[in-house]
A = this chain, B = another copy of it.
Amino acid sequence: MNIELINTGTELLLGSTLNTHQQWIGQQLAALGLELARQVAVPDTADAIQDAVRDAMGRADFILTTGGLGPTSDDVTREKIAELLGLRLCREARIEAGIQRFFEERRRSMPAQVLIQAQVPEGAQVLENAHGTAPGLAIPLPPKPGSTLKAPRLLVMLPGPPRELRPMFTQHVLPLLRQLAPSQDQYARRILRTTGVGESVIAEKIEPALRDGLQAGLEIGYCAHTGAVDVRLIARGPQAHAILAQAETTVREFMGEAIYGENDDRLEAQVVQLLTAARQTVALAESCTGGFITHRLTNIPGASAVVLAGAVTYSNTSKTIFAHVDPAILQSFGAVSPETATAMAEGIRRALQADYGIGVTGIAGPSGGTEQKPVGTVYIALAQADGTKVHSSINRYERESFKAITSQQALDLIRRALLASRPRP
């Protein structure tokens, strides 16, 4: 099945916006064993959009467009595609009512112009948008000669904002693709997510042990993120599931607790889940990470039951006020020291009567480094009932990567402590 993606938006071509749709949609399709055959970005002009759709119709079985369904004058995708396909646009009362409700629920007044989003090309299926006012549209296309598809080929339009597009893709587009696509039985894929080990080290460890699988057609891929590496295993053919299961067992054996999850699992979700299962709580005192660790944890529904509080203690005063750090410790060892990290973790744990306390202090940069403590120096302390341990490292990256890697290390520290304290079966 030939799938093509057309991203509309002048902001993409000007580089004002990064095209994250391509990556996300590519990943979603790959998870089903499908591959994008081509992706095109064009500006918000009638000619550019119509040319791109006309070209794609000559090749594709499934065309997905993103963007240009909103209410402003540069939102022309719906109208120009309907024009190209010779379809009339009709206002649909049910969508109008939904748009009116959207504004009412948010107690905002509704500009008349937004009702243009209720226009539907004749014969199109309306795909509901739970997070915005522009619905998606699916239009059946005339068949290509010699097609073996199970249903008519389709052109699907989705709105541009990711928080609208992503749930709509999952909820509406994937089922439409499944209707068209041939069976996916002979495809198996698993992503194992690791942290704390570099990709070349992982490759050196696992590849010799995977030799049999590789000879049987196993594909291994690595994707390095900030402070994490995903190991991707893909197998095809009648033995796909058996080959994959064997490979996964091998990788788990070699990587052990460095694996924190699969597919879309998030490290912070793992920590919240382990805390919840153990009925334990955590409180945080963050200096150089500026609240990012607490932010990540509180992104997870259910965090409020286990994350008691976080304090961003940038100044010495706030370290004392919030985390009860003895000024004498700050004086003797400095704000960036294992002693201060320890005092922060223990102080915040005591103040909130939490089971775990985390204290993080370091030098994010770009300035503030010394020869002994260069930019990137960081101390992460984890306090629990039986004592406090301190992780130290030099995370020499620009400011936001520094925060990302340091938060990763802190979350991994408590994750491993929670794993170690689980009752043995």
A191 at the interface (CB under 8 A from B): yes
- Do B40 and A14 touch across chains, with their CB atoms under 8 A apart? no
- Do B23 and A15 touch across chains, with their CB atoms under 8 A apart? yes
CB distance from A153 to the nearest CB of B (A): 19
Q: Which listed segment binds B: A87-95, A177-185, A297-305, A380-388?
A: A297-305
A46 at the interface (CB under 8 A from B): no
Provide the bound-state CA to CA distance between A18 and B315, in Å. 37
A37 at the interface (CB under 8 A from B): yes
- Do A207 and B73 touch across chains, with their CB atoms under 8 A apart? yes
Provide the bound-state CA to CA distance between A69 and B220, in Å. 16
Provide the residues of chain B in CB contact with A29, threshold 8 Å: 15
- Do A232 and B310 touch across chains, with their CB atoms under 8 A apart? no
Provide the bound-state CA to CA distance between A245 and B39, in Å. 36
Q: Contacting A295 at CB < 8 Å: which of B24, B161, B290?
A: B290
- Do A41 and B43 touch across chains, with their CB atoms under 8 A apart? no
Number of interface residues of A (CB under 8 A): 110
- Do B309 and A313 touch across chains, with their CB atoms under 8 A apart? yes
Convert A1-35 into 0s and 1s, putting 1 for each residue whose CB lies closer than 8 angstroms to a CB of B: 00000000111111111111011111111100001
Q: Contacting A105 at CB < 8 Å: which of B30, B294, B308, B394?
A: B394
Q: Contacting A22 at CB < 8 Å: which of B10, B12, B48?
A: B12
Provide the bound-state CA to CA distance between A292 and B299, in Å. 9
CB distance from A194 to the nearest CB of B (A): 13
Q: Which listed segment binds B: A106-114, A144-152, A338-346, A411-419?
A: A106-114
- Do A307 and B314 touch across chains, with their CB atoms under 8 A apart? yes
Majority SS at the chain A contact face? mixed
CB distance from A361 to the nearest CB of B (A): 12
Q: Contacting A309 at CB < 8 Å: which of B13, B15, B30, B314?
A: B314
Q: Contacting A232 at CB < 8 Å: which of B10, B207, B367?
A: B10
Copies in the complex: 2
A169 at the interface (CB under 8 A from B): no
CB distance from A203 to the nearest CB of B (A): 5
Q: Contacting A396 at CB < 8 Å: which of B11, B28, B106, B204?
A: B106
A61 at the interface (CB under 8 A from B): no
Q: Which listed segment binds B: A121-129, A221-229, A253-261, A325-333?
A: A221-229
A-B contact pairs, 11 of them (CB 8 A): A13-B22, A14-B232, A38-B41, A70-B224, A74-B221, A74-B222, A111-B200, A295-B295, A298-B314, A309-B314, A317-B352
**Which residue numbers of A lie inside 8 Å of B, CB to CB?**
9-20, 22-30, 35-44, 48, 52, 55, 70-74, 105-108, 111, 113-114, 131, 160-161, 163, 189, 191, 198-201, 203-204, 207, 220-224, 226, 230, 232, 283-284, 286, 289-295, 297-299, 301, 303-304, 307-315, 317-318, 321-322, 351-352, 365-367, 393-394, 396-401, 403
Pairs of residues from A and B, 9 with the lowest C-beta to C-beta distance, nearest first: A290-B298, A15-B26, A291-B291, A309-B318, A15-B27, A310-B312, A291-B294, A13-B36, A291-B295
